[in-house]
Every structure is written in structure tokens, then in C-alpha cells.
């Protein structure tokens, strides 16, 4: 199973801690000081990434934040920044990553679903769905992931004739158990319920697992898209809620979330400059300025380390 190397850096539930301490002999095996990096040819490749301690830790207003580096999907990730990493918090529309996983794993994306009245009554952000219109599952995924549409998420879980709403939610929670997530739980497919909760470390596992399905991240990196109903009577012009897509060329995609209880939430997956295959997963929960927090994290992660 895909994993994340929590052991070197995991902290207590109430303690806040950021990057690794070079004075700690365990962490020093992985995070070397800048002075150790004078001759790159003599550095054990397992030491990378190497921290540049002249660059300060980023200032993050979010309640919880993490950045994890991965060499590839088959290897464990390495936490390079964390703040209250195991705190359990509401996750708002970050829920929709799991909703997408369940849809892709269990259904044919060309299957057609008719939108019900109850689904378009979902409160919050909507994708402008019309009662009675028919859309392919892939179309609903685009509306849900690009515009964070609550009615599209509800339609996927509630209007599929092959599964009941409760069965869909059960699949979401069963997948969380399969991924060995102890603090992740889902009540609804959109993320509206405050009891939809997780920690950033467990969200990172969900995110990394979702990378197995290219369709999800192909959608999440789209700045915009146009979707038509099956009969072409209805058109949906979608604009991505992720404002950072066009600011960071290395960004492979991301998902935003917000409720009053959860605050601003965000997941991003990005490449690393001049490094092939490696990537970063960055997550924030409970932010009053999610784009600024995420921008600070992404810029810091690129600049604060020697990657190879």
C-alpha cells in the first residue's frame, strides 16, 4: 500500500512543529545542513531533500498544514513541513476527492445519471444542474471537481440507479478503512456536514491514492471546461475554484474547500523544478486565507531544499 513516512517527523496531537531539526541525529540522516551540501557528488542520495536553513519556515495561518515529498507513487513520502499534522478537523469539499475515487473505481464513466430535484437542492456551491437533465458520470465529475459543485457530488451519490445514497457513503468509509485511515469519516459526498473529517496526514494518503486515477487529476488541472447534457439542451461553463492553477506552472492540480465551520481548505499536487517524477502534496485546513497560505507553502518548498 502507498505510504507516508510519518515516523521521523510525527508529533503529538496538540503540539505544533515545523521542519526537521538538524541537531536531532535521527533527522540529520535525512535533512543535512546547507554546509553539508558543498559537494553534491559526495552526498548519499537518500539524504535528499537537503534543507537550506538560511530560508525561514513559511508563515501559515491555517490550523493545520503539511508538505510531503514523493519520489514516486510506489515509495513512501517524506514530511518536509508540518503544523498540527494529526489534528482531526472538518474537511469541507476536500471530501470530493474521495467521492471521485468511489465513482471512478465503481462505475463506468460513460454511464448516464438523471439529476433529481433533491440533488439540486443541496446548499452551497452549485454547478447549475437542471432537474431532469441527464449527464454522464465523467461530466458530473468535471462539474464537481472544477467548480466544487455540491449538487454534482450529491447527484453522483444519490441518483445512480445502481446504488443507494447510503451504499455510496459506505463505500467512501470502507475505502478509508482500506487505506488504514483511523480518523477519517464521511457523512455526505459533498463535504457539507461538519462530521466529514480527517487529518492532513490522512488526507495526504487519500490524495496520493487518487493519483492512481489520471482522470481525476486531468480534471483538477483544468482552468475551465464546458459540459453538455446528453441531449445538448443544457450547457455548463465551468471555471476552476483553484486560483493558483495559472500562477504555478508546476502545479498538477488541486482541490479547494470551504464551510464556515471548516474554514478555507486546500489540497495541491505539484512537480519539483528540474526534477522528473518527484512531486509534492501540500494540504491546509482551517485557513482564513487559503490561497495565500498555499502559495507560501509552495514557494517555500521549492526554495528551501536542495532536491538532488
Question: Cell match 505539484: residue?
Answer: 270
Does residue 32 register a pLDDT over 90? no
Q: What are the Cα distances from residue 240, in Å, to 135, 214, 220, 226? A: 19, 18, 8, 11
Does residue 132 register a pLDDT over 80? yes
Identify the burial level of 75 via C-beta atoms within 10 angstroms of its C-beta, where 0-12 means exposed, 13-18 middle and 19 or more buried. Answer: exposed
Report d(CA 81, CA 85) in Å as an integer. 9
* Mean pLDDT (whole number) for 123-142: 88
For position 46, what pLDDT does the model report? 66
Report d(CA 112, CA 133) in Å as an integer. 10
For position 15, what pLDDT does the model report? 39
Residue boundaries of the structural domains of the chain: 90-197+208-239
Residues 220/100, Cβ–Cβ less than 8 Å: no
The C-alpha angle 253, 255, 259, rounded to 5 degrees, equals 165
Q: What are the Cα distances from residue 283, in Å, to 27, 151, 293? A: 22, 24, 10
Does residue 189 register a pLDDT over 50? yes
Does residue 71 register a pLDDT over 90? no
Q: How confident is the model at residue 118 (pLDDT cuts 50, 70, 90)?
A: confident
- CATH of region 90-197+208-239: 3.40.710.10
For position 1, what pLDDT does the model report? 45
C-alpha cell at 241: 475554484
Q: How confident is the model at residue 3 (pLDDT cuts 50, 70, 90)?
A: low
Model confidence, pTM? 0.86
HSE (side-chain half, CA atoms, 13 Å) at 55: 16
Report d(CA 116, CA 134) in Å as an integer. 10
Other Cβ atoms closer than 10 A to 244: 18
Amino acid at each position: 500500500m502507498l505510504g507516508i513516512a510519518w515516523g521521523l517527523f510525527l508529533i503529538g496531537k496538540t503540539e505544533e512543529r515545523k521542519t526537521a531539526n538538524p541537531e536531532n541525529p535521527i533527522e540529520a540522516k535525512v535533512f543535512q545542513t546547507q554546509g553539508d551540501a558543498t559537494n553534491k557528488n559526495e552526498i548519499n542520495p537518500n539524504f535528499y531533500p537537503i534543507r537550506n536553513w538560511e530560508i525561514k519556515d513559511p508563515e501559515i495561518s491555517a490550523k493545520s498544514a503539511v508538505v510531503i515529498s514523493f519520489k514516486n507513487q510506489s515509495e513512501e513520502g517524506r514530511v518536509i513541513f508540518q503544523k498540527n499534522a494529526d489534528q482531526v478537523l472538518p474537511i469541507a469539499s476536500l471530501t470530493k476527492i474521495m467521492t471521485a475515487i468511489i465513482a471512478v473505481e465503481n462505475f463506468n464513466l460513460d454511464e448516464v445519471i438523471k439529476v433529481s430535484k433533491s440533488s439540486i437542492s443541496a446548499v452551497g456551491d452549485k454547478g447549475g444542474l437542471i432537474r431532469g437533465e441527464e449527464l454522464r458520470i465523467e461530466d458530473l465529475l468535471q462539474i464537481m471537481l472544477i467548480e466544487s459543485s455540491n449538487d454534482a457530488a450529491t447527484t453522483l451519490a444519490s441518483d445512480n440507479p445502481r446504488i443507494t445514497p447510503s451504499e455510496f457513503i459506505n463505500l467512501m468509509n470502507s475505502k478509508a478503512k482500506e487505506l488504514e485511515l483511523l480518523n477519517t469519516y464521511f457523512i455526505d459526498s459533498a463535504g457539507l456536514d461538519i462530521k466529514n473529517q480527517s487529518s492532513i496526514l490522512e488526507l495526504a494518503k487519500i490524495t496520493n491514492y487518487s493519483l492512481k486515477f489520471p482522470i481525476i487529476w486531468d480534471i483538477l488541472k483544468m482552468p475551465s471546461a464546458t459540459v453538455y447534457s446528453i441531449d445538448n439542451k443544457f450547457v455548463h461553463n465551468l471555471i476552476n475554484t483553484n486560483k493558483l492553477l495559472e500562477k504555478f506552472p508546476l502545479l498538477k492540480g488541486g482541490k479547494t474547500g470551504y464551510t464556515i465551520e471548516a474554514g478555507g481548505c486546500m489540497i495541491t499536487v505539484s512537480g519539483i523544478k528540474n526534477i522528473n517524477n518527484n512531486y509534492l502534496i501540500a494540504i491546509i485546513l482551517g485557513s482564513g486565507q487559503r490561497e495565500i497560505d498555499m502559495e507560501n507553502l509552495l514557494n517555500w518548498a521549492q526554495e528551501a531544499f536542495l532536491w538532488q
